[in-house]
A = this chain, B = another copy of it.
């Protein structure tokens, strides 16, 4: 468990709220271990400390839509009422800090500035979901993929002169279900980006962005070239 003071600390720009308080407890997850299921009572918020989580909705007929990937620093649990409305798994070994909802509500009452920060975090979550809606509704397969890779590299890897190394902790199926595509379409467009010399794939789980400007142009729908 992290050593931390009783004073909470917030980085609103990146959307996370870190709260030090040992009473809240951490939890370790194996790869593919569920954190919660749709329908479970919403007892906690979770802050990812290590690893990557994946929140998704599964239909009765097997269709799946991934709602978000949560990286260290991200907060999971917004948008649910008294019961979780989606499933959430760990993609890899992960550690999360569990924050009881009641504890959050108490903290807000005692420390109004915390409420403001949580509100900012919630606003960031809204912004993310809005961007996802734009992506799902109006972007082509290659634009979706480009957007995803840009967002991933921004969240996890520093860029240097137009290139970046990015780990892909999720499978093609996870990516497909996030982007509203099939694995085949994801794979085909990965290859397309590689042929265009925009990215490279040393391993299937390691991405190298070779031309970030071009990738961004695709992500922003400013490039119709195939």
**Which residues of A are in contact with B by a Cβ distance under 8 Å?**
57, 59-61, 63-65, 67, 78-81, 85-86, 105, 108-113, 115-116, 118-119, 122-123, 125-127, 129-130, 132-134, 136-138, 177-180, 221-222
Contacts and interface: CB of A to CB of B under 8 A. Distances in A.
A129 B112 CA distance: 27
Given A59-B138, A136-B180, A130 B85 contact: yes
Contacts of A63: 138, 221
A67 B115 contact: no
Nearest to A109: B112
A80 to B, nearest CB: 7
A80 B137 contact: no
A65 B122 contact: no
A86 B129 CA distance: 13
Given A138-B65, A138-B180, A126 B122 contact: yes
A127 B80 contact: yes
A102 to B, nearest CB: 12
Contact of A79 (B60, B111, B115, B123): B123
